[in-house]
Amino acid sequence: MNRSLQRHLNILDFALSSLWRRKGKNLALLAVYTLIIFIIASIVFFTQALKREADLVLQDAPDLVVQRMVAGRHDPIPVSYGTGIAAIRGVSEVTPRFWGYYYDPVTGANFTLVASDDQELKPEAISIGSGVARTSRISIGDFLPLKDIKGSPVLFSVQKIFPSSSELVAADLIQLRQEDFQRLFDFPAGRATDLAVSAGNPAELETIAAKIVHDFPDTRPILKSEMIRTYDSVFDWRSGMVLVVLAVAVLSFIIFAWDKATGLSAEEKKEIGILKSIGWETTDVLLLKSWEGIVISLSAFLFGVSLGYLHVFFFSASLFEHALKGWSVLYPEFKLTPVIDPYLICLLFLLSVGPYVAATVVPSWLAATVDPDAAMRS
């Protein structure tokens, strides 16, 4: 066996035995260290997985959404605008969309109502998401009462419940016929909530948006890329808020770890003095302490990341899913597809393992340069 490799293996074996002699303190440190990495890794995994789900959902979104703005607020847009927009070069299709929000005072949840062009949907019948069915405790054939704009209840029969596989996008969704939607909200005739625009060439979207604003100054075009950036920003903000809340715990751990790493005990100083007196060189002592730091920090990193992975992708991040999913009452239930960003994992590794190993080696180097007799008498 290579002599250098054998040297490292011998030092590693001694480092493990040295750590085990102080197992109480080291196991406590390892537990706290693992907990912090577990929390941070869980947040990273969950945020990245939600971003990926949002990207997949938005792949089916229209290339461009046109809204009408009145006094800085979103207002129903005349359907006739679609004719002028469709005449713009590069536009392949313009579709009016009818949708809105409905607050249910019984459950305290907000439902998203969308007018559907499904010909199989009967008058005063609705298709609902699994979240709506679960929150309202209804099933196919039951009735869901919704109040119209005048406060009069309208009974809608549940004709279909969307499968749980679509719960991320359809948890709070209620689909109904366009005439039922207009009657429920007393929606003005000849108006739509917004216009969905499709373009033949995605590279022309910004030019098309500029032409729409020029021809219809009271409109606001929203590109698909802007929607994706908005979702990314929202998830980044939510994960950042959770990390801020945990900042005190993280800071406490950093202080604890630094104190442990930099404040060598009398027993550890005596051990270094004995090793120096029996022929160990300073480089050997540094290797020993480096291996001790690597064993603790690398074990905590591997345990923390593995537990975070299991927590997010097998247990749906149950500890803080409500803080990151964003629904206040109606929470969707879905399994996330595992997503691992190598850059973020490497960054977490460098920020968790590197500083601790460095904080372990520096004070050990200072102790190793002291005369062995003085170290053993300290």
**Which tens digits make up the pLDDT trace of 146-183?**
998 888 999 999 999 988 665 666 778 899 999 999 99
pLDDT per position as a tens digit, 99-111: 999 998 888 888 9
- pLDDT > 70 in the chain, percent: 73
Fill in the amino acid letter for 125.
A
Confidence of residue 328 (pLDDT cuts 50, 70, 90): low
Which residue has tokens 């540094």?
Answer: 286
pLDDT in tens, 267-320: 666 666 666 666 677 677 777 777 888 888 899 999 999 999 998 888 877 776
SS3 call for 78? strand
Contacts of 88 (CB under 8 A, 6+ apart): 208, 211, 212, 215
Using CB atoms within 10 A of its CB, is residue 231 exposed (0-12), middle (13-18) or buried (19+)? middle
Interval 15-34 mean pLDDT: 82
Per DSSP, the three-state class of 100 is strand
d(CA 60, CA 67): 19
pTM of the model: 0.68
Amino acid in position 32: V
Could you give all domains of the chain from N- to C-terminal order, each with its CATH number?
3-58+233-377 (no CATH), 99-186 (2.40.40.20)
